[in-house]
Amino acid sequence: MNPSPAQSAGSATETTAYRSPHSRSRELYQRASQVMPGGNTRHSIAMAPYPIYAVSGSGCRVRDVEGDERIDFLNNYTSLILGHADPRVTAAVERRVASSTAFTMPTPEDVELAELLVARIPYVDQIRFCNSGSEAVMLAVKAARAFTGRHKIAKFEGAYHGIYDYVEVSEGPAADEWGDADAPRSVTEPGTPPSVAEDVLILPWNRLEACRGLIAQHKDELAAILVDPMPLGIGMIQPRPGFLEFLREETARHGILLVADEVLNFRISYHGAAHAFGIQPDLASFGKIIGGGFPVGAVGGSRRVMSVFDHTGGLKVHHGGTFNANPVTITAGLETMRQMTREAFDRLNGLGDYIRERLTRMLHDRGLDAQVCGRASMFVAHLNSGELVDYRSLRGFSRTSPIYGELCHEMLGRGIITSPRGVFGCLSTPMREPEAGAFVDSLDESIRRLGIRPS
């Protein structure tokens, strides 16, 4: 195994074997391209010219097929809050697997995880499990439609909520598709019927007066406003003071449900993201960390709204799913959530403050007009100048800008895993200040090597 720079406290050792013409990653990608379109089965991890293939992970480190080890700041896009192969999660899962993995019956663990989440999340009286965040968002939207008897939803331009047709609308429109800043166009993805666009109102993030006008125009048709309180697709730009409260008030006034997408941001706090931002949604979707590293989703909310799923009381929304609440996921999720005590969140979020502060200082010292967004255990360093307000304000230095891909490869070569679509990272509990510092040093050195200078 080749030690990474972070392991050897900033030495110049490189983790670049994947770039060799004879690397196993290159060979695996060539084989993958024969049997999978684009050589890929998950667009969010595609990387040019090819991805690095992983073999194992332990704590905050991941080893690739060449034997190089790196510190993992992606954690399967935020889902591994305890890092890789946590010993207690692994032991619990091994015990579970040895006594079968799936039944056509519920298990006691379903009830325990549901009870744990209901006890922690102030706006969740009842919850149901599914297998992905996308399913969780879809179920929340369907529940809102069934509850209100209305069919339209509103969501924010640039926000990602998974792969359900309606929530994919305008998840990343190109500048020539935007339309009016005060009335953004609804842009569907390829493969989606154009009629879907008519049922999705697109709102501009943080632009309160524009949102007020748009909501007022569509108030009688809107079943829900779907909001991620700090959307990664919008660069984790924080909601302006009062913006989320305004959404809560407007929705309540017009009989629209407020649906929080906490699939990614539930890791912000012990009580959930909406709570941390001071709002009380009617429904929320969850995923990622609550599955302890296994596929998961969940929809939860007030008892009144969740009653649309109650088959004993005149069912309105059907919810099947062969693997819903599968015992392996639920066991891993339960062990993970038990370890994520208030103190564990506090320590991890304190490390988040530390890394955001160090990143900000380093970028400032380099003279770059860059900005660090994010909160709790997540951060995004934007190499943008100008005020960051909404999705459109990011495009000057867009997440598709080639510079982010180059920075990512530089950092991969220095023992750090980050995203090719922006300098994004999230922390896991095995990390301490040296690992956070290694990220900052690696970005600093990568910026220098690429010659990124103040504009």
Ligand X SMILES: Cc1ncc(COP(=O)(O)O)c(C=O)c1O
Q: Residues in the site for ligand X, rule: CB under 6 A?
A: 77, 132-134, 137, 160-162, 228, 232, 261, 263-264, 287
By beta-carbon proximity to ligand X, the closer residue of 231 and 415 is 231
Residues shown for the chain: 455
By beta-carbon proximity to ligand X, the closer residue of 264 and 376 is 264
Shortest spacing between CB 386 and ligand X, in angstroms: 25
By beta-carbon proximity to ligand X, the closer residue of 259 and 363 is 259
DSSP state for residue 184 in the 8-state scheme: E
Shortest spacing between CB 432 and ligand X, in angstroms: 26
By beta-carbon proximity to ligand X, the closer residue of 179 and 295 is 295
Report how far residue 420's alpha carbon sits from residue 37's, in angstroms, rounded to the nearest whole number: 20
Contact 234, 161 (CB under 8 A): no
Contact 107, 334 (CB under 8 A): no
Quote the crossing angle between the two packed helices 108-120 and 327-339, to the nearest 10°.
40
Q: Residue 156 burial by CB count (10 A; 0-12/13-18/19+): exposed, middle or buried?
A: buried
How many CA atoms within 13 Å lie on the side-chain side of 141? 25
Shortest spacing between CB 260 and ligand X, in angstroms: 10
Shortest spacing between CB 46 and ligand X, in angstroms: 14
Report how far residue 17's alpha carbon sits from residue 189's, in angstroms, rounded to the nearest whole number: 37
3-state DSSP call for residue 287? strand
Query: 3-class secondary structure for 324-348?
Result: CCCHHHHHHHHHHHHHCCHHHHHHH
Contact 48, 74 (CB under 8 A): no
Closest CA to 167 of 207, 142, 200: 200
Could you give the C-alpha distances from 309 to 121, 171, 317, 360, 453, in angstroms and in order? Answer: 19, 28, 5, 46, 55
Shortest spacing between CB 161 and ligand X, in angstroms: 4
Shortest spacing between CB 266 and ligand X, in angstroms: 10
How, if at all, do strands 378-382 and 371-373 pair? antiparallel
3-state DSSP call for residue 397? helix
277: Cβ–Cβ under 8 A, 6 or more apart, which residues?
Answer: 229, 230, 239, 244
By beta-carbon proximity to ligand X, the closer residue of 168 and 441 is 168
By beta-carbon proximity to ligand X, the closer residue of 110 and 228 is 228
By beta-carbon proximity to ligand X, the closer residue of 133 and 239 is 133
35: Cβ–Cβ under 8 A, 6 or more apart, which residues?
Answer: none
Closest CA to 258 of 279, 286, 240: 279
Shortest spacing between CB 136 and ligand X, in angstroms: 7
CA 291, 293, 295, 297 dihedral sign is positive
Shortest spacing between CB 33 and ligand X, in angstroms: 23
Contact 318, 355 (CB under 8 A): no
Shortest spacing between CB 296 and ligand X, in angstroms: 7
Report how far residue 138's alpha carbon sits from residue 164's, in angstroms, rounded to the nearest whole number: 6
By beta-carbon proximity to ligand X, the closer residue of 223 and 230 is 230
By beta-carbon proximity to ligand X, the closer residue of 17 and 244 is 244
By beta-carbon proximity to ligand X, the closer residue of 203 and 438 is 203
Shortest spacing between CB 132 and ligand X, in angstroms: 4
Shortest spacing between CB 15 and ligand X, in angstroms: 26
By beta-carbon proximity to ligand X, the closer residue of 363 and 427 is 427
By beta-carbon proximity to ligand X, the closer residue of 352 and 415 is 352
Shortest spacing between CB 137 and ligand X, in angstroms: 5
Residue nearest ligand X, Cβ-based: 133
